[in-house]
Structure 1
Amino acid sequence: MQIEKNKVAIIEYTVKSAEGQMIDTSEGTEPLAFLCGFHNIVPGLESALMGKVAGDQLNVAISPDDAYGQYNEEFVKEVPLTAFQGVDKVEAGMQFHAESPNGPQLITVTKVENEMVTVDGNHPLAGIELHFDVTIKEVRAASEEEIAHGHVHGEGGHHH
């Protein structure tokens, strides 16, 4: 069975930056199960996996445009420290969920100076070319419930 829309693919993977820095891996954990066609993984990787079958292996470089987007300086803002009410000490590296015009957004504190906090709303992997090494372990038809919910249920997927 081939990877295509409404199929569940179970993969083992390692992803690194173009410089070879490890970003993530399924090694030592459960393989990743995802429902194809439902934006469960970055678009470039999903496209590269289309038509592949269990046992196939591939190495693919995914551009930022097909992963987490280009880094956008407009997503870096200075906000007053008072915006973090209830937080004892705001420090660089902390992450928060904030409301944006496009809904909830993860922001990362990059600098705290005087009464101002610099936050970055870019995804941590924005602007980075991702290099995936993937082995397809299994491909199966998705259940009607998985398709209705837009994600995998059971082993390696979401548990309700």
Structure 2
Amino acid sequence: MEAARPAARLEEEIAMRRQRPRLTIVALGLVVVTGLTLAACASPAPATGDGSRASDDPAVTATASPTPSDGRRSVEVVAVATMGSDDVLAAGGYVHGVIEAGGTCAFTLVQGDATVDGSSSAEPDATTTWCSNVNLTLPTPGAPWTLKLRYESPASVGAGSVTSTGEIS
């Protein structure tokens, strides 16, 4: 009887060791896929010849930040907008290459003569400073719009914008 117990334990240990590589491979695969997905989301669009950022959406363009005159550094601000529904624009953005707390983000949605304003706090992470999302209602759904984003902190200031033709692809 005594000899049977160690043999059973040995078989259990062998079975567990056979399963470990599978768990390691699955866990490693999840880490790699998650890392690649996050890197793709966080990467800014490539710069164009005029200093603006290109977009994957041909209907959206970005503009560069102005130069401040009050001693704060000028920063590149990237405005981001997605359609939350037919008449709601989910607006957000980030301050490229800046990691700082204490900033604010002011959004202005312009559509024809109408404007809609919103604001949010800015939060740093390991690589950039993010403007929290705000929902802005489009005055005229389906019509072209421009989203302007202004970032300000005690040390930095910048602005950016995106423009849509109103087409949904």
Where relative contact order (Cα < 8 A, 6+ residues apart) is larger, the structure is 1
Larger Rg: 2
Q: Judging by fraction of residues, say which structure has more helix.
A: 2
Q: TM-score range by the shorter chain?
A: under 0.3
TM-score, normalised on structure 1? Answer: 0.21
TM-score, normalised on structure 2? Answer: 0.21
